[in-house]
């Protein structure tokens, strides 16, 4: 199980450092419904990641495979995932705003002020499980765990660790909101501004680093 967790840690970090979801939860924390919407967003995020795990593990974990076949399958997953992330990195880098330009934000963010707790939870589910980058990483993590050859219980624990780490990014603003009280808006505002400006660059560098690592791991797996 420890080996499986070690393999999926970079993927969990990739999900955790997601600028758009972090910006979204920060915006929710400056609305009148902050005390309900912030935690509900995080809950929806966890549910979205858990749903991916249940679906993928039920497929990947139920397939019978020899040790060599399992190793080969994991290597192929890493290769495809790495290539996909390198493609995302290139697209994000090309789309980054030039100096002096304001980074465009999704239009739906303008409606966050009117979100109910149910909509906040729904946004968490969508940004965790439907966002292409996060979907790619979560499916990859669940596939690696499912093909690791460990028991079903250990698979569930390993993916739970992935989910916890992947939730840190959106959970930290909520913790700051409740822990810092009146001092939280200034800090959260600075965090939002910085991530808005550097969203594309953060995503490009993150996807590049993880993509290169996964491709390297895949090549090592094929040659083993």
pLDDT tens readout for residues 167-195: 999 999 999 999 988 888 888 888 888 88
79-98 pLDDT per residue, tens:
888 888 888 888 877 777 66
Report the distance separating Cα 24 and Cα 106, nearest Å: 10
> Which residues form the domain of 12?
2-185+192-223
Give the number of domains in the chain: 1
Mean pLDDT of the 31-52 span: 95
* Cα–Cα–Cα angle for 37, 125, 76, rounded to 5 degrees: 150
Alpha helices (runs of H) in 17-151, residue ranges in sequence order: 19-28, 34-60, 67-94, 117-129, 132-146
Q: What is the pLDDT of residue 64?
A: 47
Q: Examine the pLDDT at 25 and tell me if it is beyond 90.
A: yes
Q: Identify the band that residue 99 occupies on the pLDDT scale cut at 50, 70 and 90.
A: low
Largest CA distance in the chain: 57
8 A C-beta contact, residue 86 and residue 215: yes
Cβ–Cβ under 8 Å, residues 103 and 197: yes
Q: Mean pLDDT across the stretch 191-219?
A: 82
Q: How far apart are CA 70 and CA 27, in angstroms?
A: 43
Q: Is the pLDDT of residue 146 over 90?
A: no
Give the whole-angstrom CA distance, residue 146 versus residue 150.
8
Q: Report the C-alpha gap between 218 and 117 in whole angstroms.
A: 42
């Amino acid at each position: 199980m420890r080996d499986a967790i070690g393999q999926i840690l970079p993927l969990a970090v990739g999900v955790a450092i997601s600028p758009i979801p972090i910006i979204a939860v920060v915006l929710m924390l400056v609305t009148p419904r902050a005390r309900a919407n912030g935690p509900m967003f995080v809950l929806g995020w966890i549910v979205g990641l858990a749903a991916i795990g249940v679906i993928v593990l039920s497929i990947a974990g139920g397939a019978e495979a020899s040790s060599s076949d399992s190793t080969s399958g994991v290597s192929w997953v890493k290769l495809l995932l790495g290539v996909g992330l390198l493609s995302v990195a290139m697209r994000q880098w090309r789309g980054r705003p030039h100096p002096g330009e304001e980074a465009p934000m999704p239009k739906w963010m303008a409606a966050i002020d009117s979100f109910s707790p149910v909509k906040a939870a729904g946004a968490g589910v969508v940004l965790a499980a439907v966002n292409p980058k996060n979907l790619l990483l979560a499916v990859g993590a669940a596939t690696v765990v499912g093909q690791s050859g460990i028991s079903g219980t250990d698979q569930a624990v390993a993916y739970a660790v992935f989910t916890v780490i992947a939730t840190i990014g959106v959970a930290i603003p909520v913790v700051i909101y409740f822990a810092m009280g009146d001092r939280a808006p200034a800090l959260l505002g600075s965090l939002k501004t910085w991530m808005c400006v550097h969203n594309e660059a953060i995503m490009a560098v993150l996807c590049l680093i993880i993509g290169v690592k996964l491709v390297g791991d895949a090549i090592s797996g094929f040659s083993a």
